[in-house]
């Protein structure tokens, strides 16, 4: 098995000059606590062959102006944003408030819930288990987790859905269980909530027939991964994904050392007055939604994670084969646009192939997107999920413009 440890892109190594000193740096040094709370961290691209610095800076400036205007118009929460080359942050800035009522500004190290980006984390954990021989992507999930044989509504004569189908949202399962409290309850009972949700979910399509996004499918997949490796799910992810990548601000449970950087999530309850999400619901009551929506993180940590998804992290945690398998379309509708294993795949009108995921959970939005050929990616995190800013549109527009500066 060959492991990629070098950081590269199709125009060669991208290195960046520190804006204040002019020294070349890959910006991999740890942030100080003060830097984590700072509103911005920036390095400008060195004048190098293939990089149009004016176009690059203009794209960043347009994005900044857009975020400043939209966050000011909301006057509720904030946005933390980063641009990465491989695993390295090359530009980052925060806008607005981490805590509006206490007037604490958002920082580049502010911590947010990432919603369904957690599914990508679960898929990486799954591939780690595959590489070690604990799981075969094409085996029925029920061989690992027999309770899943109790999902009702299986199509007559259809084969049992496989691990691959659960990971690509082609298992045929509905989006959510038919159970009001499935997504409530303390994190300590999330596994019980998954098991209890199984007979209250159902198949709506034959396995493999079509793409059908399923939160309960990913909750089940995460518990199956834990059963396969013989370790608690959160422990396995922390030790086998977060720790080797240096994702020191990523977790499922916010402890006292990270609590000062946790942003307050805001929701609009329909009265025109956005308010903080109820803490018991937001940070304690998650029910079965741990593998599919439970990760807290920062833009810097997710930049490292994007590098791993491209095989550009050091140390590498995925083989080239696993990276390729995750990054190809597994849904049947369109070979160029669809869902891989834990990632969304889109081809732009200009022919750029973009890979990433979005996330939305009460009080928070998240978005990460990268182009694997160049290694460039963007991460946007927000603590208000009904604001004026469309993170997906803003993030894709920024990435496409930055890619244009490389050509």
Query: What DSSP string describes 77-123?
Result: -EEEEEEEETTEEEEEEEEEEEETTTTEEP-TT-BEE-TTHHHHHHH
Q: Report the pLDDT value the prediction gives residue 149, as an integer from 0 to 100.
A: 84
Mean of the pLDDT values across residues 180-184? 81
Per DSSP, 259 falls in state G
pLDDT band at 137 (very low <50, low <70, confident <90, very high): very high
pLDDT tier, 260 (very low <50, low <70, confident <90, very high otherwise): very high
Q: How far is CA 96 from CA 38, 40, 74, 101, 269, in A?
A: 12, 12, 9, 12, 21
Name the residue with higher pLDDT: 14 or 227.
227
pLDDT average, residue stretch 162-179: 95
Q: Describe the crossing of helices 215-229 and 117-131 by its angle, rounded to 10 degrees.
A: 30
27: Cα separation from own chain's centroid: 21
pLDDT-derived band at 98, boundaries 50, 70, 90: very high
* High-pLDDT (> 90) share of the chain, %: 68
Cβ contact 296:118 at 8 Å: no
Per-residue pLDDT, 166: 97
Pair 352, 67: CB distance under 8 Å: no
Q: Report pLDDT digits (tens) over 99-126.
A: 999 999 999 999 999 999 999 999 999 9
> What is the reported pTM?
0.88
> CA 39, CA 59: separation in Å to the nearest integer?
19
Q: Reply yes or no on whether the pLDDT at 182 is more than 80.
A: yes
User: Does 357 score more than 60 pLDDT?
Assistant: yes
Structure tokens at 317: 């945690």
| Helix, strand, or coil (residue 304) | helix
Whether 325 shows a pLDDT value over 60: the answer reads: yes
What sign for the dihedral angle of Cα 335, 341, 347, 352? negative
What mean pLDDT, rounded, does the chain reach? Answer: 86
Give the model's pLDDT for residue 46. 41
Task: Indicate the pLDDT class of residue 286, thresholds 50, 70 and 90.
Answer: confident
**Predicted confidence (pLDDT) at residue 26 exceeds the cutoff of 90:** no
Mean pLDDT computed over 33-59: 65
Check whether 401 has a pLDDT greater than 60.
Answer: yes
Torsion angle, alpha carbons of 94, 98, 100, 102, to 10: -120
Both tokens of 367, joined, read 């978005």
Chain position carrying tokens 């009702």: 152
User: What pLDDT sits at residue 30?
Assistant: 35
Question: Is 50 exceeded by the pLDDT of residue 11?
Answer: no
Measuring CA to CA, how many Å separate 217 from each of 127, 169, 170, 207? 17, 7, 9, 12
Spatial contact of 265 and 281, defined as CB atoms under 8 Å apart: no
């Amino acid at each position: 098995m060959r492991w990629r440890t070098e950081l590269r892109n199709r125009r060669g190594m991208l290195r960046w000059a520190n804006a204040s000193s002019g020294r070349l740096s890959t910006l991999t040094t740890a942030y100080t606590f003060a830097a984590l709370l700072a509103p911005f961290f920036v390095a400008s691209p060195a004048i190098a062959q293939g990089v149009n610095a004016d176009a690059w800076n203009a794209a960043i400036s347009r994005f900044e102006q857009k975020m400043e205007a939209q966050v000011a118009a909301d006057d509720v929460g904030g946005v933390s944003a980063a641009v990465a080359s491989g695993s390295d942050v090359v530009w980052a800035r925060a806008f607005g408030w981490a805590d509006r009522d206490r007037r604490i500004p958002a920082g580049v190290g502010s911590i947010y819930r990432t919603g369904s980006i957690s599914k990508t984390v679960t898929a990486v954990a799954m591939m780690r288990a595959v590489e070690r021989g604990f799981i075969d992507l094409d085996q029925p999930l029920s061989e690992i987790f027999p309770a899943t044989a109790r999902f009702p509504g299986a199509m007559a004569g259809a084969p049992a859905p496989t691990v691959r189908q659960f990971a690509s949202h082609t298992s045929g399962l509905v989006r959510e269980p038919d159970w009001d409290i499935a997504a409530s309850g303390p994190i300590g009972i999330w596994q019980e909530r998954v098991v209890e949700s199984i007979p209250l979910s159902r198949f709506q399509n034959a396995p493999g027939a079509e793409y059908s996004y399923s939160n309960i499918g990913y909750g089940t997949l995460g518990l199956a991964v834990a059963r396969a490796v013989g370790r608690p799910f959160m422990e396995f992810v922390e030790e086998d994904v977060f720790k080797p990548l240096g994702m020191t601000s990523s977790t499922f449970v916010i402890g006292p050392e990270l609590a000062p950087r946790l942003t307050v999530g805001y929701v609009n309850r329909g009265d025109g007055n956005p308010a903080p999400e109820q803490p018991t619901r937001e940070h304690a009551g998650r029910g079965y939604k741990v593998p599919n929506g439970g990760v807290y993180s920062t833009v810097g940590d997710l930049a490292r994670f994007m590098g791993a998804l491209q095989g550009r992290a050091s140390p590498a945690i995925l083989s080239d084969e696993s990276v390729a398998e995750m990054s190809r379309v597994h849904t049947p509708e369109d070979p160029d646009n669809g869902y891989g294993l834990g990632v969304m795949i889109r081809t732009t009108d200009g022919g750029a192939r973009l890979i990433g995921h979005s996330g939305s959970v009460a009080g928070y939005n998240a978005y990460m997107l990268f182009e694997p050929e160049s290694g460039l990616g963007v991460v946007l995190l927000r603590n208000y999920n009904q604001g004026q800013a469309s993170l997906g549109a803003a993030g894709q527009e920024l990435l496409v413009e930055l890619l244009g500066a490389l050509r």
